[in-house]
Structures are given as C-alpha cells and as structure tokens.
A and B are shown apart, each in its own frame.
Chain A
C-alpha cells in the first residue's frame, strides 16, 4: 500500500511524515530567503498588524493597569509617610525657588546670547507606546504602536527621555519592531564625549540583568577616560544619529593586548520600566552605494 495514496473513507490525507518534510523545506527556504531579502516581511507584517496588534494594544493596557494596581498597593503605606515629609519640604523649596527663578531668567538670557539650544531639539520626534515585548527570553526587542502610516521607517533611532533606546528594524502599517541596544546581537559605535575617543557599545545578555552594557575597543592611549564619562553615539555610525546619549562609564579595564580598553557602561535609559518612547523621524544621511 502506498503511504501517500492511503484511503481513509474518500478523503485524501497526507501522512504526517511527509507534511513534516514539506514544511521543513518551506521553513528552510524561508530562512534563507529572509536572511538575504525582505520580501515577506511586507505582506506578512501587514496581515499580522491587523490581526494581532489590536489585541496586543488592548491587553498591554490591561497588563500595565494590573501592574500599576500591584505597585499601588505596595506603595500606599510608604506614600503616606512620605507625604508628611514632602509637605514640609515644599515649604522649604518654595523659598528656594523664588531665588532660583531669578537666576533662571539670567541664565535664559545668557543662553540666548550663546545660542545654546537644548540638546536634541534639532531632531523631529514622534511619541509611541510599547505594546508588546519579545516572546522569548533571549533578546530585548519590543513592538510599538506606530508604523509606516505614521511616518516611521526602518533604521530610525528610538529614544526615551534623554538616552538612546534602540533602532527600528521592521515596520508594518500600524506597528514597528524596535531592537534595543542592550540586546545581545546589537553593536553601536559610540564615542567618549570628553575625549572623542571611539568605541563599540555591544549588548550582552549576561550583563542585561545587572543593568549595564559592555563596551569594547576603546583606544585611549593617554589614559584620559575615567569612570563616569559620558558616552554618546559617534558620527561614524551609518545608522545612528550623532550625539545621542547612550550612558555613563561605570567600570573600565585594559585589554590583554595593551592597546584597547573595555568595560561596562550604565545606560541612560531605564530599560526595565520602558513604556513610552520617542522615534526620531530623521534618518542618518548615507552615501548611496552604486
């Protein structure tokens, strides 16, 4: 009896062995195809965007609501005690503010004179909310509720507060996938703000739990870089805009080759409690490769 043409009533059934084989081939083809091109992410992303994203949107709201309630219960007692203390502080601070306000006027005037703008005002940004996080435990990527219909495209930089969060790697009509810089497969080229030495910031799963990111290949011959120095994105990166704060050096050590240094940095963004992010709609200018 042929296994493929087995009769079961009048229905034709494909034995699971063959189905497994066929689907394995399909999967492998897909892996190879999507490794080199992006033909499928468009249509699949659109379908998924309309089927899954509305649920994620709603449920993540419920999830954060639950989490808020949980935290509220814990915090309510502390808050009462704190309230008393803070009321006292308000009085002290009001007096202080009056003094500071006068200084502020002076500062504003001086700033205008120097034409110092605040740090990132030159970039246009869109706010977006995180609606889902990575389904596994290996990487730190997440999905936001804005897509190409809102003007978001691939390789746009994502910030939260004053620091760099990551980069948009995939866009659907109403969603976009962001891979954060703490993710294990991400490297960002950065520089030390004070000395302009270049380095590579490299995400690492082992350090993710400790709240730090590792950096490597810092060339600092004069030993000028110290702990606490600011690290910003470098201008030689082809995807990241220059001058966005990544974090502060928390420890530094010399590599065994005596040429480069490596160490840890504390990111400027609290990745554990990320809810809203800002997407910079300006892309890094690149030279067209012909």
Chain B
C-alpha cells in the first residue's frame, strides 16, 4: 500500500518535472526522459511485474496529455518495463554500469519505436536525421540526468524494501 502511494507520487513528480521545469531548461529543445529512467530502474530492481505496471501508468499519463490516441505510449513503456524486469536477476545495488547500460538501451529503443510508428509510417524517411537530432541527444541528456536520479530511486527502493522485510519478520 505504502509502496503504491510512494511509487505513484514518484511517477507524478517525474512527469510534471519533465514537461515543466526540464522543458524550460532544455538544451537545444531536447528534454530528458525521466519516465524511462523510472520505468527501467523499477523494472530491473523489482522485476517484470512492477516494471510493466509502472510503465503502463507512466505511459498512460503521457497518453492523456500529449498523445492523439490513448494506449500507444502505455504500450511502449509497459514493454520497456517488462523487458528490464528480465534483468532483475543480474541486478546488484552496488553496480552502476548495468543500470546505466539498460537505461541507455531503453531510451534508444523508445526513441526508435516512436520514430517507427509516428514518423516512418507517415513517410518521413530521414532516419539518420532523427537519430542524430532527436534520439541521440535525448539519450545523452537522459543519461546525465540518470546519474543524479538513479541513486535517489535506488535509495527509495532500499528504504521501502527494508521496511517491508521488517514488517514481514514481525508476522512470522
């Protein structure tokens, strides 16, 4: 219950930051993708199920405000969360390389899927341009933000987990 509320608040904070403060402080009109960082990191920290649920809600929020159809971003984020959950077994809190790598891949794939379904299908064929000017800058900027955001998420998760373990012990 507590985990649900805290995660919900975290999603809300990331979404609101992404489309207000970061929009105004954007470098060259590019904003980092905080929601991907959130989805991916909960994916590999907590497993497939948490990843896909958080992805679903992150995507839904983006859908309601900024998409023509509801469900597209929800689907993309959900699969990213689920796929990251597959790596939960290889996850150690001390290791920063794998999370960075996974988040980078996730954001790149997210960008690629967006291009595929929203631009290529409308006949915009300059793939190289979109990679160089939209996807890569977004990945780099996201990576920089990850360095600051990821430890925070890790700490919140650690805190929640240790509390859950304690209350679980009480009942046994």
Q: Which chain A residues have a beta carbon within 8 Å of chain B's beta carbons? A: 16-17, 19-20, 23-24, 26-31, 33-35, 40-41, 44-45, 48, 51-52, 55-56, 59-60, 62-64, 66-67, 131-139, 141, 143, 169, 177, 184-185, 205-206, 208-209, 272
In the bound complex, do residue B71 and residue A27 qualify as a contact, i.e. CB atoms below 8 Å apart?
Answer: yes
Q: Is B21's CB under 8 angstroms from A63's CB?
A: yes
Q: Are A16 and B71 in contact (CB under 8 A)?
A: no
The contact of A44 among B30, B52, B64, B69, by CB within 8 Å, is: B64
Known: A30-B71, A31-B69. A45 touches B64 (CB 8 A): yes
Q: Which of A34, A52, A138 meets B69, CB within 8 Å?
A: A34
B35 touches A16 (CB 8 A): no
Q: Which one of A23, A24, A135, A185 contacts B19 once the chains associate, using CB atoms below 8 Å?
A: A135
Residue count of chain B within 8 Å CB distance of chain A: 52
Contact assessment for B75 and A133 in the assembled complex, using a CB-CB cutoff below 8 Å: no
Give the contacts of B1-34 with A (CB-CB under 8 A).
12, 15-21, 23-25, 28-31, 33
**Secondary structure type dominating chain A contacts:** helix
Cα–Cα distance between A208 and B114 once the two chains are bound (Å): 18
B134 CB to nearest A CB, Å: 5
Given A27-B78, A55-B12, the answer on whether A133 and B17 have CB atoms closer than 8 Å is no
Decide yes or no whether B44 CB sits under 8 A from chain A: no
Which single residue of chain A is at the shortest CB-CB distance from B18?
A: A135
- Residues in B neighbouring A45, C-beta threshold 8 A: 64
- List of B residues within 8 angstroms of A209 by Cβ: 28-29, 133
B24 touches A67 (CB 8 A): yes
Q: B33 to chain A: which residues have CB within 8 Å?
A: 136
B29 x A24 contact (CB < 8 A): no
A-B contact pairs, 8 of them (CB 8 A): A23-B56, A30-B70, A51-B12, A55-B12, A62-B20, A136-B66, A177-B66, A185-B118
The 7 closest A-B pairs by CB, nearest first: A30-B71, A16-B49, A63-B21, A16-B48, A31-B71, A133-B23, A60-B20
Other than A28-B75, A209-B28, give 4 A-B pairs with Cβ distance below 8 A: A60-B24, A132-B20, A205-B134, A209-B29
A105-B33 Cα distance, complex, nearest whole Å: 56
Kindly state whether residue B37 has any CB partner on chain A within 8 Å. Answer: no
Closest residue on chain A to residue B30 by CB atoms = A137
B136 to chain A, nearest CB (A): 11
Return chain B residues, CB-CB under 8 Å to A63.
Answer: 20-21, 23-25
Query: Is residue B119 within 8 Å, beta carbon to beta carbon, of the partner chain?
Result: yes
Assess whether B61 is interfacial by the CB under 8 Å rule.
Answer: yes
Q: B78 and A20: CB pair below 8 A?
A: yes
Asked if B62 is at the interface (CB within 8 A of a chain A CB), the reply is yes
B residues 84-124 touching A (CB-CB < 8 Å): 85, 114-115, 118-119, 122, 124
State the Cβ distance, B167 to closest chain A Cβ, in Å.
Answer: 14
CB distance from B47 to the nearest CB of A (A): 7
Inter-subunit contact A135/B35 (CB<8 Å)? yes
Cβ contacts under 8 Å, A34 to chain B:
68-71
Contact of A185 among B52, B85, B122 (CB under 8 A): B122
Question: Does the CB pair A206–B21 fall under 8 Å?
Answer: no
Q: Is the CB of B29 within 8 A of A137?
A: yes
Contact, CB under 8 Å: B52 / A19: yes
* A141 proximity list for chain B (CB < 8 A): 66
Is B148 positioned at the interface, with any CB of A under 8 Å from its CB? no
